[in-house]
Amino acid sequence: MSDIEIAQRTQSQHIREIAEKIGIAEELLEYYGPKKAKLPLSLIDEQKVQEGKLILVTAITPTPPGEGKTTVSIGLADGLNLIGKKAITVLREPSLGPVFGIKGGAAGGGRSQVIPMEDINLHFTGDFNAIEKANNLLAALIDNNIQSKTNNLDIDPRTVLWKRVMDMNDRSLRNIISGLGGKTGGIPRETGFNITAASEVMAILCMSSSMENLLKRLGNIYIGDTFEGKAVFARDLNAEGAMAVLLKDAIKPNLVQTLEGNPAILHGGPFANIAQGTNSILATKTGLSLGDYVVTEAGFGADLGAEKFLNIKCREAGISPKAVVIVATIRALKYHGGQNLSELTSEDLDALEKGIPNLEKHIESIQSFGLPMVVAVNAFTTDTKAETDFLINYCDRKGVAVSFSDGWSKGGKGCTELAEKVVIAAENCSQQFKPTYDLDDDILSKMHKVATTIYGAEGVSLTPKAKNQLKRFNDLGFNNLPICMAKTQKSLSDNEKLTGRPTGFTIDVREFEIAAGAGFIVPIAGNILRMPGLPENPSSTKIKMDASGNVSGLF
């Protein structure tokens, strides 16, 4: 059965009943149909936030289809509930663009899914749309100001880096010239669109601690410079009020359920290769206020999602996970050991052994944060006993807890062993995580520390352009912001072809972006696309609806 068939055949509960399980009074729910609800920010209880046990699910360097972090997260939360813990999974919302491209849905898989998966994979409760509109209102205000006679802030159009966004895989919008058509069409300039998940407004929504904080961050967005070189911010255009109003519902976390009827909170969706790659601070805190355990994931490998989750999000929010789960798959490890993507279903112990250093590096990275961990071996039907024995022996020798995770075919039942090991790790964890860098470090040192400690690089090199930008950030007083590296997810290095555990490389930072509202500096290593394209055969062509409105072809 396909994911959507499993999801559609599952008897789901009214979201009122799910809310009741975690003590939310019905009058606090804002329903979006019978299976989705928005939660008020008033549910956050800062004392419970500190008491709750936060579990971070991360992964080894993934192959293109991903290694199943979302599936493991959902399975683990269901497993924790099965062994008697009040657990909530708190995840990102999927982006619509990839649903129509290659990836399909992003709401888990098999017996470990969140539902209603059709809605979650489509417009859901409208959060992405609200973010898109807030982003694009600012863009329209900027261009309107540039061509205005009476309110002109003297913005130099060549310095404007704020792009429009659309939640669609649409490569044709990546680079455009806008403002054509003569005098009534504005001022022609080079610009482009990013996918909505890449918007700084998405990052801001996920970093905000309250409505008031949202408003302040929106006002702090750095737009570009005047012809005289003065920095211009969104607040200079009085943009933040209307932007915040557009986000007044989007800022509230969304409650749904797993296939097993356990609560799941989905909120925000920044990508991990270009942004912080994790759900909102408000959603994580809501989960911690309502459950004893919160299982959350951060995108791609531990070099991207986990690093940013800890150094950016947890530091800002004043929270710390009690344990980290590293998802590993036999197939991805063999891929890192040199086996071809098309042959990963065949046994190859030699490739597995050669690929294991990738896992080793991610284990060391989590150790650098001082956090306990469990390696979750996400089961595939093609894994052989010899292969899984090899991997488990490796972890045993290393002294790292390890467990099978079979949420995909068995749901929570396939994850109870993992759940038990996670509970042992979390209950014995008394320390806070140790950040990779201090906020007082200069930006170059921050990058150097992340590159060497987390990626295993020898250092960082900067283009002349990047060096000039660093100087500018210093002048603007942005030096004490954390960094949010934009780097390929396909390698520990910035070269996507270097699989396994590469050594002897440096990270080449081409340029920087400044997300002054979200509160971080974005060093860009290599060519990172912020607007994907559709493949030769888009998934969208397989999506069908019958006369009664039933959906098929989403997976």
Q: How many other C-beta atoms can be found within 10 angstroms of the C-beta atom of residue 493?
A: 27
User: In terms of CB distance, is 153 or 349 closer to a copy of itself?
Assistant: 153
Active site residue 162: no
How far are the Cα atoms of 155, 201, 435, 507, 514 from residue 478, in angstroms, in the given order? 21, 18, 19, 22, 9
Q: Which of 11, 47, 381, 537 binds a copy of itself (CB under 8 A)?
A: 537
547 binds a copy of itself (CB under 8 A): yes
User: In terms of CB distance, is 465 or 542 closer to a copy of itself?
Assistant: 542
Note the Cα 513 to chain centre separation in Å: 18
User: Measured on CA atoms in the order 312, 317, 323, 326, is the torsion positive or negative?
Assistant: negative
- Scanning residues 347 to 376, which ones bind a copy of itself (CB under 8 A)? none
Question: What does the alpha-carbon distance between residue 23 and residue 120 come to, in Å, rounded to a whole number?
Answer: 23
Q: Which of 83, 424, 498, 551 binds a copy of itself (CB under 8 A)?
A: 551
487 binds a copy of itself (CB under 8 A): no
520 binds a copy of itself (CB under 8 A): no
526 binds a copy of itself (CB under 8 A): no
- Scanning residues 30 to 89, which ones bind a copy of itself (CB under 8 A)? 30-34, 38
CB 104 to a copy of itself: min, Å: 12
User: In terms of CB distance, is 26 or 475 closer to a copy of itself?
Assistant: 26
How far are the Cα atoms of 32, 265, 295, 416 from residue 37, in angstroms, in the given order? 5, 10, 20, 28
Active site residue 272: yes
Q: Which of 62, 66, 100, 383 binds a copy of itself (CB under 8 A)?
A: 100
- Scanning residues 268 to 297, which ones bind a copy of itself (CB under 8 A)? none
Closest listed residue to residue 325, CA positions, set 144, 79, 118: 79
Q: What is the DSSP string of 509-547?
A: EEEEEEETTTTEEEEEES---SS----SS-GGGG-EE-T
Q: What is the H or E stretch that residue 464 is in?
A: helix 464-476
- Scanning residues 80 to 99, which ones bind a copy of itself (CB under 8 A)? 96
Q: How many other C-beta atoms can be found within 10 angstroms of the C-beta atom of residue 335?
A: 25
Active site residue 69: yes
Active site residue 92: yes
Question: What does the alpha-carbon distance between residue 509 and residue 486 come to, in Å, rounded to a whole number?
Answer: 9
473 binds a copy of itself (CB under 8 A): no
Q: What is the H or E stretch that residue 308 is in?
A: helix 307-308
Give the range of 59-67, 234-242, 309-317, 345-353 binding a copy of itself by CB under 8 A: 234-242
424 binds a copy of itself (CB under 8 A): no
- Scanning residues 239 to 258, which ones bind a copy of itself (CB under 8 A)? 239, 241-242, 244-246, 248-249, 251
Residues near a copy of itself (CB under 8 A), total: 82
Q: Which of 3, 93, 118, 225 binds a copy of itself (CB under 8 A)?
A: 118
Catalytic position from the list 134, 203, 272, 323: 272
CB 140 to a copy of itself: min, Å: 4
Specify the pairing of strand 323-328 against strand 373-378. Answer: parallel
User: Which residues are annotated binding-site positions?
Assistant: 63-70
298 binds a copy of itself (CB under 8 A): no
Q: How many other C-beta atoms can be found within 10 angstroms of the C-beta atom of residue 391?
A: 22
For the record, the structure tokens of 285 come out as 């805190």
Specify the pairing of strand 293-297 against strand 53-59. Answer: parallel
Q: Which of 1, 23, 229, 238 binds a copy of itself (CB under 8 A)?
A: 238
Catalytic position from the list 128, 309, 369, 380: 380
Q: Which of 17, 51, 212, 496 binds a copy of itself (CB under 8 A)?
A: 212
122 binds a copy of itself (CB under 8 A): yes
User: In terms of CB distance, is 442 or 511 closer to a copy of itself?
Assistant: 511
User: In terms of CB distance, is 89 or 194 closer to a copy of itself?
Assistant: 194
Length of the chain: 555
Residues 133-172: x where in contact with a copy of itself by CB under 8 A, - otherwise, as a string: x--xx-xxx-xx---xxxx------------x-xxxxxxx
Question: What does the alpha-carbon distance between residue 224 and residue 197 come to, in Å, rounded to a whole number?
Answer: 21
How far are the Cα atoms of 59, 108, 257, 319, 432 from residue 116, in angstroms, in the given order? 26, 12, 8, 30, 36
Active site residue 410: no
Q: Are 1 and 551 in contact (CB under 8 A)?
A: no
User: Which residues are annotated binding-site positions for ATP?
Assistant: 63-70
Q: Hey, is 194 helix, strand or coil? A: strand
- Whether the ω angle into residue 116 lies within 30 degrees of 0, i.e. cis, is yes
25 binds a copy of itself (CB under 8 A): no
Q: What is the H or E stretch that residue 256 is in?
A: strand 254-258
Which residues are identified as catalytic?
Answer: 69, 71, 92, 103, 272, 300, 380, 408
